[in-house]
């Protein structure tokens, strides 16, 4: 399974300034504040990013979001969070 984010809804001038996509995830645990970790298996192209879930083998509920890094001001545009349940 692959998660895919399409950033084509953002203004064209921002698409041209995006230098990288970073995808972050965490495994949700009840009543615990779990830190976000950066995914290493990210494929990106102009206006879109995707991450493979092949390496996520431990059952549980995971949350993902992608950040598009803007070369003009160093800021990042964060997507909505996606929740995925992986069953064993």
Q: pLDDT per residue over 15-60, tens digit each?
A: 677 777 788 899 988 878 888 998 877 777 666 778 888 888 889 9
Please tell me whether the overall predicted TM-score, pTM, comes out greater than 0.85 for this model: no
Give the pLDDT of residue 62: 92
Is residue 4 predicted with pLDDT exceeding 70? yes
How confident is the model at residue 85, as a pLDDT? 92
What is the C-alpha to C-alpha distance for residues 29 and 24, in angstroms, rounded to an integer?
16
- Distances, alpha carbon 1 to alpha carbons 11, 15, 28, 56, 65, in Å: 29, 26, 19, 10, 16
How much is the pLDDT for 15? 67
Average pLDDT for 63-77:
82
């Amino acid at each position: 399974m692959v998660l895919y984010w399409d950033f084509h809804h953002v203004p064209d001038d921002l698409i041209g300034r995006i230098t990288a996509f970073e995808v972050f995830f965490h495994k949700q645990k009840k009543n615990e504040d779990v830190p976000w970790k950066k995914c290493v298996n990210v494929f990106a192209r102009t206006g879109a990013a995707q991450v493979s879930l092949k390496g996520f083998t431990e059952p549980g509920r995971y949350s993902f979001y992608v950040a598009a890094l803007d070369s003009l001001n160093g800021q990042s545009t964060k997507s909505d969070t996606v929740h995925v349940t992986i069953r064993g």
